[in-house]
Amino acid sequence: MAASLRQVVAGSWRQPERHLLALQCAARHSRWCLITSRTFYTAEYDPNEKTFEKLLIANRGEIACRVIKTCKKMGIKTVAIHSDVDSSAVHVKMADEAVCVGPAPTSKSYLNMDAIMEAIKKTRAQAVHPGYGFLSENKEFARRLASEGVTFIGPDTHAIQAMGDKIESKLLAKNAKVNTIPGFDGVVKDADEAVRIAREIGYPVMIKASAGGGGKGMRIAWDDEETREGFRFSSQEAASSFGDDRLLIEKFIDNPRHIEIQVLADKHDNALWLNERECSIQRRNQKVVEEAPSTFLDAETRRAMGEQAVALAKAVKYSSAGTVEFLVDTKKNFYFLEMNTRLQVEHPITECITGLDLVQEMIRVAKGYPLRHKQADIPINGWAVECRVYAEDPYKSFGLPSIGRLSQYQEPLHVSNVRVDSGIQEGSDISIYYDPMISKLITYGSDRAEALQRMEEALDNYVIRGVTHNIALLREVIIHPRFVRGDVSTKFLPDVYPDGFQGHKLTDLEKRELLAIAASLYMAEQLRSQQFLGSPRISLAKLDLNNRELSVQLGDGTYSVTVSNNGSTFSVEVDGMKLNVTSEWNLASPLSSVTIDGTQRTIQCLSRDAAGNISIQFLGTVYKLRILTKLAAELSKYMPEKAVEDTTSILRSPMPGAVVAVSVKPGDLVSEGQEICVIEAMKMQNSMIAAKTGKVKAVHCKAGETVGEGDLLIELE
């Protein structure tokens, strides 16, 4: 009896935590599950060190949650601010108090200083942590806080201002003997002078109009001839397009890496460098995968970079945590890029390898405590990798945002040494108003291989349904031979996927594995559909499901597969090769652990239907298969091919009502799921959304108009 009871209890614990032992605790459950996420700090909190009573977090999403977690640890009461649509967001639920600061658009809520100052007064918060983005590097905000006697958790106004200005920060860096990209900015008289400057800098150089933003009109010159040509083009352009003769001639860094140094400084003139983060994997200048430390740096370069970063921090009397970004060329020359005077998105990987809690240190420093560590105390323990999981479609230019509700969401916290920083939960909306980041997935290992191995596992075990996500891309990046070798640059993605990302390419063995898994899943479902309980009509005939012949369609190929069943193992013959597939075959679980001839794989069955269609997420990528019996497959060839009726390009009114708002105009680009117009009927506002991504061709309605059912509202191209 006792033994069986133990078994029951053990069994229950093994289930995900959302399956409760008892209904009674259900009510409070949702609140508790929010603060169970794992962190890897070794730095302890000293309860005798008084900091603040109450702290307001002027941010949302995962970073707000991240700050609240440390505050809870330090015994600080927290105040969350939120917009209308965020009123039931995770950070609001986690905080002790919450104040609504305005409607959804960030300019009216999270950037609304008046409302935030009001919230601070109302809640009597003593300090404000700005997180990243929003007001984190806004000197006006820091100034207003200071005038109200509220502590800003970050550097002082002077440092924010100095580092916020590109030219000033470069000058400061130069003076602090930090390597900067050699270059010239000003009026260049003629081509000869341009050549002279270029030679001084050393080839290759980049030439462009100073007034041109970003990479616009940028030319690369590798020798004198190209410099003259570049000068001609750029000076013409500078004069004609911008009416500003100034040119920028700068050292061009080929195949650069983006490596940044985390610094931590206090108000007592102490500053530390907390090693580097390799952030080279980027798309459209946004980081995707980061790791610490970098495979590229040797101890000497690391120390040199660290010391320069600290020198810069001291030069601006920096306090709090900050990041000095460098470009590193193939010869390990590094050049100062800019300094971020805030907590970075990717700070967790530094925390993993150093054991520090950066938020805790920021709060201590802001209160005026000196740093507790010496430079020699800062270790590099193991290796940490961070993947940014975004709600976006990686198949479209490495990620176009997608929106929607997370109908199912399960973080892979059951995998060891995984940390997930997120600010959403099952049921959360990923809206158009804010950053589409779902979470930061961080894995940690004693070495890089271990950390990457865990990352693979974690990505496979991450359940995200309801929005498109970029897990397929992340998983491909971390297993790519170039990445595994450490051979990365900021151009990694376009170099590796010149034709855009197309998902995982299955090897022959992997394809067989996928076919075998799909066929087994199909058979498991067939078997289960015979298991009716308590029916008074019991079949006497024994079901024999051996040697079932199936036809599996995958992509353009059709494969003949033979399946036999023996308990929880299916023997699957694919292309004359026999594979044994073993699993629990739980058809309800979003995750399935499957063993194929000894190889363990975690797959996710996203959907399956009666017509044999099944989508499986295998090795990160979602594959669509169709499984039919041999007979059905043979008969299917008589079925007519049907032209798909395109109803996605037109939007008709589903009911009679009044058009309340039209949010697009002809020529606008809309993404799938985006609201196009709102129709009010029966005092209800119905949001009409785009069924596909595309350009608006015509708008046939305007706000205030009454429309009938089936009336054409919008046409897309």
Tell me how far CA of residue 390 lies from CA of 393, 419, 424, 611, in angstroms.
Answer: 9, 16, 12, 32
Task: Enumerate residues 56-115 that contact another protein by CB under 8 A.
Answer: 84, 87-88
Q: Kindly state the smallest distance separating residue 427's Cβ from another protein, in Å.
A: 4
Specify the residue, 496 or 527, whose C-beta has the smaller distance to another protein: 527
Tell me how far CA of residue 563 lies from CA of 520, 544, 603, in angstroms.
Answer: 7, 12, 19
Return all residues near 656 (Cβ < 8 A) that are at least 6 apart: 681, 706, 707, 708, 709
Q: Is residue 429 a contact point for another protein (CB under 8 A)? A: yes
Q: Which of 211, 632, 658, 698 binds another protein (CB under 8 A)?
A: 632
Residue 226 annotated as catalytic = no
DSSP per residue over 130-165, as a string?
Answer: --SSTTTT-HHHHHHHHHTTPEESS--HHHHHHHHS
Q: Which stretch binds another protein (CB under 8 A): 181-189, 335-343, 392-400, 636-644?
A: 636-644
Residue pair 695/667 in contact by the 8 Å Cβ criterion: yes
Interface mask toward another protein for 683-712; x: CB under 8 A: xxxxx-------------------------
Cis peptide before 16 (omega within 30 of 0): no
Task: Enumerate residues 197-236 that contact another protein by CB under 8 A.
Answer: none
Specify the residue, 355 or 654, whose C-beta has the smaller distance to another protein: 654
Selecting among 193, 307, 338, 680, the annotated active-site residue is: 338
Tell me how far CA of residue 676 lies from CA of 399, 436, 623, 649, 669, in angstroms.
Answer: 22, 19, 31, 12, 11
Tell me how far CA of residue 272 lies from CA of 164, 277, 320, 357, 374, in angstroms.
Answer: 21, 15, 10, 14, 7
Q: Which of 175, 502, 558, 568 binds another protein (CB under 8 A)?
A: 558
Specify the residue, 42 or 586, whose C-beta has the smaller distance to another protein: 586
Q: Kindly state the smallest distance separating residue 602's Cβ from another protein, in Å.
A: 17
Specify the residue, 284 or 637, whose C-beta has the smaller distance to another protein: 637
Q: Which stretch binds another protein (CB under 8 A): 202-210, 317-325, 345-353, 584-592?
A: 584-592
Q: Which stretch binds another protein (CB under 8 A): 141-149, 164-172, 286-294, 630-638?
A: 630-638
Q: Is residue 299 a contact point for another protein (CB under 8 A)? A: no
Q: Kindly state the smallest distance separating residue 402's Cβ from another protein, in Å.
A: 17
In whole angstroms, what is the distance from residue 93 CA to residue 123 CA?
16
| Pairing of the two strands 54-57 and 127-129 | parallel
Quick one: tokens of 619? 């090795």
Task: Enumerate residues 311-370 that contact another protein by CB under 8 A.
Answer: none
Interface mask toward another protein for 532-551; x: CB under 8 A: xxxxxxxxxxxxxxxxxx-x
Q: Kindly state the smallest distance separating residue 597's Cβ from another protein, in Å.
A: 22
Q: Kindly state the smallest distance separating residue 629's Cβ from another protein, in Å.
A: 7
Q: Which of 14, 19, 284, 665 binds another protein (CB under 8 A)?
A: 19
Interface mask toward another protein for 586-625; x: CB under 8 A: xxxx-------------------xxxx-------------
The label of the residue with tokens 């271990």 reads: 450
Q: Kindly state the smallest distance separating residue 464's Cβ from another protein, in Å.
A: 13
At position 347, the amino acid (one-letter code) is: H
Interface mask toward another protein for 448-477; x: CB under 8 A: ------------------------------
Tell me the backbone φ, ψ of residue 455, rounded to 5 degrees.
-65, -40
Specify the residue, 542 or 665, whose C-beta has the smaller distance to another protein: 542
SS3 (DSSP) at 423? coil
Tell me how far CA of residue 703 lies from CA of 88, 673, 679, 680, in angstroms.
Answer: 30, 20, 9, 11
The label of the residue with tokens 């498109």 reads: 468
Specify the residue, 165 or 634, whose C-beta has the smaller distance to another protein: 634
Residue pair 256/204 in contact by the 8 Å Cβ criterion: no
Q: Is residue 528 a contact point for another protein (CB under 8 A)? A: yes
Active site residues: 338
